[in-house]
Each structure stands twice: as structure tokens, then as C-alpha cells.
Chain A
Amino acid sequence: MRSLAPGPASLVKSQEGIVFLLALLAFLAFALFLPAFFSAGNLLTLVRSVSILGILALGMALVVVGRGIDVSMVATMVVSVSWAFALSRSGYPLEVALLIGAGFALLTGIIIGFAVAVGEVPPIFATLAAGSIIYGLGRTFFFTLEMQNVPPGEDWFALIGQGRILGIPVTVVAFAMLCFVAHILLSRTRFGWQLYAMGNNPEAAKITGVPFRPMVVAQYAISAFVAFGAGLILASSASAINARLYNSTFIYDILLVVVLGGIGLNGGHGKIRNVILGTMFVGILLNGMTIMNIPFTVQNLVKGVVLLFAIIIDSLVNPRDEQTSQQGDL
């Protein structure tokens, strides 16, 4: 058993402790050596941009805890929001358009969930192909422009990404509230307990009466819905959404957060504080690299290498259980 309240000694030993220390070190180093880093403006940008990543990572974390993975989140995000904007421009009220977008996101999640739960397609496969399908669907039928601006005349929409509550950006508040909700969901509800049971040992969970298939469908529906919400915040803060984000390495950033934070890809363990921790570290890293003016391609390389090491450490700390891992478990 891991100790519930990590003291200073256990902090260094556990993976999350190491990540926490690394985040702290990176923060201090950037603050000391990069003059632009430790300014109020930058920190605000950091927290705000990190919040979107964090929200997406929350959705991913839920799926990963249940021994799944959802690499279609970015596709769902850009397509559902872009479609909503395109609909709004073609005459629908923005509210209705957003509802349609949300419905679309939910539907994709449910379909993916069915493919995984009933079709027994490996999750990473289902979501990888789903990403390609969703993006192709969007680009072919829903909208033609890659860049979809927020429809004009809807001032309230800008508040989501740019407004403040008691001086704190709405984005950050949203992230904090979602963290709280997710924490309650995972630690205080039957859904959460069953999720951990499924991740720990799917076969045992099935036998003990966990409604396995509905649970799987629910996970992907939630992650798709979370992706839509994150897309709204992203679009609101930037006043537009770029569909090409699907082709970027954004999805790896999300995975990076989850894996670095210490939620094992094996499923069955990991808490919301791991997501927060991962988000902090990745956010600081990305922000620092951007300020240092490191080219985008090199940033990708750095992220890739860091993620690789994170996975290696993850597999050393949480070795795969040969008893419950199945043939064809990729």
C-alpha cells in the first residue's frame, strides 16, 4: 500500500514525489534564469494554458484508470467545436449550435465505447481510428475552413476563456472545479470504485457484478464530453479554434500529463492529484521552452523523449501484471 499522506521521505521515493520535485526545480530554474518567466503576465498565461491541458488530462485519466485510453480526444474536441461554430455561422443560434456540438461529442464517445465494450476492439485502436474518422468526417462534411473563428456578436462566449471570477481566470476556476468533481467521482461514488476495480482486474470486475459494458461506454462518453468542454474554453480564450490541432502532437501532451503524473497505463490506480501534478510539470516545461524560444520541432523531440522516459519509469514502477494482462493487450 502506498501511504495516503506522503511525508517528506516518501515524497522522494514515490514517482509523484519525484515529479513534484522536478516541477519545483524546473520552476525555480526557469524563474531564476529566464527573466520573462516569473512575471505576472506569463504566470497567468501559464496557468490558463495549462488549465486546458489539465481538463483534457482529467478526461483521459478517467479512461486510463479503467484500463483504456482515448487518443481521439483532440479530434473530438476540434471537430465538435468547429462544427458548432460553422453551424452558428450558417444561421443557428450559438446556444443551439453548441448543444449540437456537445451532442456530437457525446455520440462519438458512445460509439467508441460500443466499439471497445461490445466490439472488443482494443481501445487504443478504436480511438486511433476514431480520430481519423472524426477528423475526416468533420473536414469533409461539417466545415471547410481549418480555422473557425468564434461567431461575432456573442460576447458572453468570450467570458469562458477570458473572464475572471474574484480575479482568478474562469479557465482556472473551471479546472479546479472539474478536479473537485472528478475527485469526488473517483473516491466517493460507486462509479469511481467500480472504475478502479475494472482497471485493476477486468475479469474479476466482470465476475463480481460490475456493469462492465455500460461502464466502458460511460468512460468514453465522459472523455468525449470533457474534450468538447475543453474545446470551448480553448476557442473562447483564443477567439478561434484550429482544426489542424488534430495533426499536432497535442494528444501526446495529454498523455504526457497523465503518465508523468503517475497514473499507470495499466489502469486501476492514480488519483486526481496525479493529474494536477502532471499538469504543473508539463505546463512549466512547455512554457519554459517556449520562452527560451526553442523551435517547435525540437520541443516535440524533448516532449517525446521525456514521455518515453516517463513510460519507462512507469513500467518499472508499475510492472505489467502477467496474471491480468491479456493476450493481445497492447
Chain B
Amino acid sequence: MAVSDMLLRLRYRIVPDRLFGELLTKSWIDNVIPVLVLAVTVLVMTVLIPGYLSTGNMADLGRQVAEFGLIAIALTIVILSGGIDLSVGSVFALTVLTALVCMNVLGVPIGVALAATLGVGLVCGLLNGVLVGYLRLRAFITTLVTLVIFRAIYDIVFPKLASAIVASMPSSFLWDYIGFGNVVGIPISFLIFVAIALVVHIVLSRMRPGWRLRAVGGARRSAFNAGINVKLTVCMAYAASGVLTAMAAFLFSARLGSTGADTGIGLEIVILTAVVLGGVSLGGGRGSVGGAIIGTVLVLILSNSLIRMAVPGSLNQLILGVVLVAAVLFDVKWVKNRGKILSKVYVSPTYLALKERPRVAEDPVLAVNDRLGDAQQIGVGAVEGPEDVILDRDGNLYTGTRHGNIVRFFAPDYNTHEIFARVGGHPLGLAFTRDGDLVTCVGGMGVYRVTPDGTVHKVTDETNRSALSIIDDSRLRLPDDLDIAPDGRIFFSEATIRYEMSEWAVDALEGRGNGRLLCFDPKTGTTRTLLRGLVFPNGITVCRDGQSLLFAETWACRIMRYWFDGPNKGKRETFVDNLPGYPDNVNRASNGGYWVALLGMRTKTFDLAMRKPGFRRRMAKRIAADEWLFPNINRGCVIRMTADGTITDSYWDADGEKHPSITSMREHKGYLFLGGVSNNRIGRVRIADADPDWTAPDDYWGDAE
């Protein structure tokens, strides 16, 4: 191997390119940038302002975060619903006034004062809610007007009560405690805030009202069609906003004990900046309580620091405005382009060197013949995508279809068929258990078991999550083929953990070991991952020793042998290397050897491309997916090999009309049955030298009693 190839190989082994794309698929990535900005800001302020991290300053910040944070959460709820609430500043002023009037002027108990404050907030919120939710007004302009109205009410009432508020002091211990109390150095109001934030977070992310809210914000019409009461949900979002704002006002009043003519003016801009900075998307559906809090802390640190650096108020306003526009700009572009970036960088090719390709045309065994040309056609047009085929003891033929069914053709002539079971996903690999249950790998779903009467049971759809994987690999994305060991353990392959069923071929462009081998143990009912990092593991068949299995690694063009039991347990060795095509399913043959389906033959071009990951990356980034260079998966054949891996026969469809690409084959009583994931038929062809009495169930489980 040339030095340059070694370096290339090393580079793709060491640098984890794929992580970038995988990071972008995570939902928490929205919060990463705000957190980074926050960290940088704190760092800068600590350096610029001496004594910034003092306890006194922190406690002060904690109290402010409590008040502002509650309003930020209020606004977050409304924005999640697809609206906006600009009236929070005025509602805040009104509720502060309510709380102070109750405590200072009327002297009612603190519980009553709290109820009255929250009540005023609720009324204000409900007004917005009814207008926006039920009357379908535009949220922005409506809350802008209610902002003016609430403000006008405050301006009318406040001067009449200002002196009365200042004149008396409430004598409530609890009131003072909320305003000034600490628990182990942490302000009590901050603790109240944390409790409320936790509750709101759980409701928003883990409970039905929160999901409905997000659904309405994310896609209003779809939410309506799904049966969600859109109007009520929107209305309740505004009501919640009013109540949370009132709670903030209550904490604020307890701390300051007075209010001024300018209380709450411009608050909506500050909070809006905070919320948008925290990654809550205008337009709804995206955002979290955590993000809102991060944004709040960021804005408070920013504005507090500006004040401490003696920046004039108007400049402060200017900076906040710029930050707001920048944040919205970033948010709009981020939401719009994230998908685009993701689709550009997700495909992450790596170096894969295959040996010199065997010359098929000159090989007497592999050369194209027409042995499949006169195959009997079964179910033409009735089955779509029979990836795998299998026969039961009675000779009936089963296959999965793209429509999510398992179809049964009846022996002996296979002219009639019925839908045996409805699974819901595309069944790929099929295998019979000792008891005659049909077990199948369903793309996008998991492993399912179908009893002889046609009822479907889930076997498994998850495995242990690997600790360091960024994408969640506990769910089964693309279980491909399976086989069953003598003791009933189900061994199955998952072709790739990075792509869905619909885009399985894209995995070929990566050439990385994205797949794995898993085992479901019926004794414990658990699924465990046995081997990771396999290059599109595909067909699996248990060897006749009952201790090992063969599995095909499609893009690596090889078949591996793995011992799961016995003295060699855990050993893995190459069974056949450098196949002329991409192996798919592997099944037992009557002569003691194995059948292997080659879904496509290798080409020199693509073999070269596999050694040029940079080329494939540029291709995936720069041109449309329709134009990408894919491996040849249009034209393949079936090969038979002996138990030690020597290829003895090949079966081709010379015209390529009936069975150009074959993904599976089964031998049964002297015939070979053929399936293909992109075919619309099953083929049956006579094998001249096959044992006419051999059936797979007998070979696996012994003669039927």
C-alpha cells in the first residue's frame, strides 16, 4: 500500500467527520450556541469588572433572574404556541400595582394578595387569549394594543394610589422572607423560580398539554386535523403567560416594595431579546424552558454589566435592539438552513480499499449464463419488494412486501396467494423457528414474530445504547436479516444505524462500518449488540455446527464467520473475501454449502471511488442526490459456494428482464426461489444437481415428527 493511501486511511480513521452531521440532528443543538455565548460573556465580564463573581452580586442576579426568568418562560409558552405576547410589560406593571395595593394599602393576608395578583394576571392573559385564540386576531398587533390599554389603565390608577403605597409598610413575615430571605445563601425567590421552571419544563416536554402546545405552534393546520382544540390551546397559552407574569410581579413587589411610573416599560423588548437569544424560535414549535433561562441570564448579565460600566441608558437600549435583531436574524436563518446544512454534511464518506476485482467475464464459474432465464414467475405484480423469501414445511412460500404485508403463496404451483399477516413495515429477512413461527426483520420497526395463524407479536425493537454514540443507537433502524440458533436465540443484523430504510443505498457512499450484529435471547427477553462497526451487515445464516454464523458485509464484498458458542466463542474470521459483487442474503444449500445473492456486481469506477473519500464527500455536498455515483445495485446474480467458501456455480438472468438484481434465494426440494428488494415477482428455477428432498426446516430442525 502506498504511503499516501496509508495516510489517507489514517486520517479517516482518526478524524470523526460524521460526528458533525450527527450533532446537527440532535434537538439540543439549538441550545449549544446560547450556552457558548453565555460562557464567553461571563468570562469577559469577570475579566472586565472586578468582583463580578462575588456572592452579593450573584444573589442579586439570582433575584433578578427569578423575576425576569418567569416572564421569559411566560413568553416562551406563548411563542411555542405560534404567537407572541408583547403585553407582558404592561401586565407586569398592573400586577405589581395589584400586589402592592393588596399588601400595603388594603393590608390583606399574603395568600389573598397572591390570589388577587395572579387573578389580575389571569384576566389580562385571558383577554389576549380570547382575542388571539378564539377571534383569530394577529398576535403581534393585538398584544401591542393590549399593551397600550393595560399601560393606560396603569397610568390612570397608579398616580391615585402612589402615595398610599409608599405611606404604609406591610407587616408580613412571609412577604419579607420572599423578598429578602435566603436558604443556604440562595435567594428564596430564586428557589420559587426554579420550582416553577421545573414544573413548566416537565409540562412542556413530558406531558400532553405541552405536546399539544408545540403541535399547534409547529403546524397549526395539522394540529387541527389531528383533533387538537387549537383555539383553546392558544387561549390557554396566553392565560398561562398572564399568570406567570403575575407571579414574577409578586416576587418583584416583595423585593422592592414600591413601584414607579416607568415599571415594566420596555420590558417586552428585554424579555423578547432574552427568549430569542435562548433559541426559542419565533413562529412556534421550537424552544425550551432551559433556553429561555439561558437567554434571560445572558441578557441580564449583559445589561447589568453595561450599567456597571456606566453606559448611558439610551446606548443600553441601542445595544439591546441590535442584539435582538441579530438574534432574530440568526434564528430565522438557522431554522431555515439547518436542514440544508444537515443534508450537505450528513453523508460522511470514509476510506475503504477493496482488493483488485475478480474478472467475471473471463471466469468459467462466474461468467454470465442464462440459468435463470426460464425461471417460473410467481406473483408478478402481486408482490412489491420481496427482499427475502422462505418456505415452510408444507412447501408454502412466504415473502414480505413494501406495503407492509407478509404474503403467502400456496404449494404446489404457487398460483394462489393470500395476505398472511399485516406487519406495518417492510419485512426484510425471514426465518422459521422450531415451532413454525415466522420471525421477520422489519425495516424501521424491529424484529417481529408471526404465529402460524397470522397474528403479529413484537420480539424486540431496541438494544443497549452505546455510551459514546451521539445518535441514539438503541432503536433499531434497519434490521436486515436474521437467523435462529438451535437454542432459539435470534441473531440479526442491522445494516446501518445512520440511515433509514428509504435511503439505505446512501450508506454505500460512506463505506464505513455503520452496521452491527445483534442477538435476541428469548430466555432473558433482552437484546444485546454483539459486534459493531460492520460494513452494511446483511444476510445471516447459522452454520451447521450450531456454534457459528456467516454474515455478509455488503459494501466490503466479503462474508465473515462469527462464533457465538463453543470453544471459539467470540472469534471472527473472514470466510470469503473479495467477492465479485455485493453480497446480500446467505442461505444454506442442499449440498452442504451456501447460496449467496449478489445484489449487484462491483465496478472498477466505484471501487476507485471507495478509495477516494474526498471525492465522494464533494459529490455528496455539491451535486443533487439524483446525480450521485452509486454502486451498481441493478445487476447481480446468485452464487453457490462450498462449506469452505469456494465458489462453484453462478446463476444469471442474461436478459436482465426477470431477475436482474437478487437479494435473496432459498432452496427447497430441488428448486431455488428468488427474491429481490426492487422486484415485483418471485422466481422459481430447477437446480439440476440439488437433492430433490432437501428442505431448510428439516436441515435446521430435523425431520418433522
Contacts and interface: CB of A to CB of B under 8 A. Distances in A.
B83 interface: yes
Interface stretch (A5-13, A130-138, A234-242): A130-138
B140 interface: yes
B346 to A, nearest CB: 24
Contacts of A247: 265
B304 interface: no
Interface stretch (A17-25, A162-170, A173-181, A297-305): A297-305
Contacts of A126: 325, 328
Contacts of A3: none
Given A133-B318, A136-B321, A330-B140, A308 B156 contact: no
A184 interface: no
Interface stretch (A89-97, A210-218, A272-280, A320-328): A320-328
Interface string A132-170: 110111111000000000000000000000000000000
B194 interface: no
Nearest to A71: B144
A230 B38 CA distance: 43
Nearest to B143: A330
Contacts of B137: 311-312, 315
Most buried by B among A135, A138, A327: A327
A311 B156 contact: no
Contacts of B84: 330
A26 interface: no
Contacts of A307: 145, 148
A191 to B, nearest CB: 25
Q: Which of B156, B282, B325 has most chain A Cβ within 10 Å?
A: B325
Nearest to B158: A297
B317 A311 contact: no
B325 A133 contact: yes
A295 B160 CA distance: 14
A221 B615 CA distance: 47
B90 to A, nearest CB: 10
B116 to A, nearest CB: 22
A295 B144 CA distance: 22
Interface string B251-282: 00000000000000110010000000000011
A297 B145 contact: no
A242 B212 CA distance: 48
A136 B317 contact: yes
B156 to A, nearest CB: 5
Query: Which of A71, A297, A305 has the most CB atoms of chain B within a 10 A radius of its CB?
Result: A297
Contact of A305 (B149, B325, B336): B149
Contact of A328 (B152, B284, B316, B320): B284
A315 B152 contact: no
Contacts of A121: 325, 328-329, 332
B382 to A, nearest CB: 41
Contacts of B284: 327-328
Interface string B342-365: 000000000000000000000000
Interface in A280-308: 295, 297-298, 300-301, 303-305, 307-308
Contacts of A122: 140, 282, 328
Secondary structure of the A side of the interface?
A: helix
B294 to A, nearest CB: 20
Nearest to B336: A120
B508 to A, nearest CB: 36
A128 interface: yes
B604 interface: no
B145 A128 contact: no
Contact of B317 (A120, A128, A135, A322): A135
A146 to B, nearest CB: 10
Interface string B376-387: 000000000000
B219 interface: yes
Interface in B283-342: 283-284, 312, 314-322, 324-325, 328-329, 332-333, 336
B282 A330 contact: yes
Contact of B282 (A303, A305, A316, A328): A328
Nearest to A120: B332
A328 B322 contact: no
A140 B328 contact: no
A124 B318 contact: no
B199 to A, nearest CB: 28
A311 B141 CA distance: 8
A193 interface: no
A109 to B, nearest CB: 15
A265 B137 CA distance: 10
Interface string B135-158: 111111110111011011101100
B82 interface: yes
B288 to A, nearest CB: 18
Which residue, of A115, A119, A130, has the highest number of chain B Cβ atoms within 10 A? A119
Contact of B312 (A140, A252, A255): A140
B141 A255 contact: yes
B457 interface: no
A189 interface: no
A163 B109 CA distance: 64
A121 B314 CA distance: 23
A265 B314 CA distance: 31
A262 to B, nearest CB: 15
A285 to B, nearest CB: 15
A39 interface: no
Most chain-B Cβ atoms within 10 A of its Cβ — which of A125, A312, A316?
A125
Interface string B392-432: 00000000000000000000000000000000000000000
B269 A320 contact: no
A110 to B, nearest CB: 15
Interface of A: 69, 71, 115, 119-122, 124-126, 128-133, 135-140, 247, 249, 252, 255, 265, 295, 297-298, 300-301, 303-305, 307-308, 311-312, 315-316, 319-320, 322, 327-328, 330
23 contacts: A71-B144, A121-B332, A125-B328, A129-B269, A129-B322, A132-B318, A133-B321, A133-B325, A136-B318, A140-B318, A265-B138, A297-B155, A300-B151, A301-B149, A303-B148, A304-B146, A304-B148, A307-B145, A308-B131, A311-B138, A315-B136, A320-B136, A330-B282
Q: Which 9 A-B pairs have the closest CB atoms?
A: A328-B283, A136-B318, A139-B314, A132-B321, A301-B152, A133-B321, A304-B149, A300-B152, A330-B140
Interface of B: 82-84, 131, 135-142, 144-146, 148-149, 151-153, 155-156, 219-221, 265-266, 269, 281-284, 312, 314-322, 324-325, 328-329, 332-333, 336
Given A132-B269, A297-B152, A300-B155, 15 more contacts: A71-B144, A119-B329, A120-B336, A121-B328, A121-B329, A122-B328, A129-B269, A129-B321, A129-B322, A140-B314, A140-B318, A255-B141, A297-B156, A298-B156, A327-B283
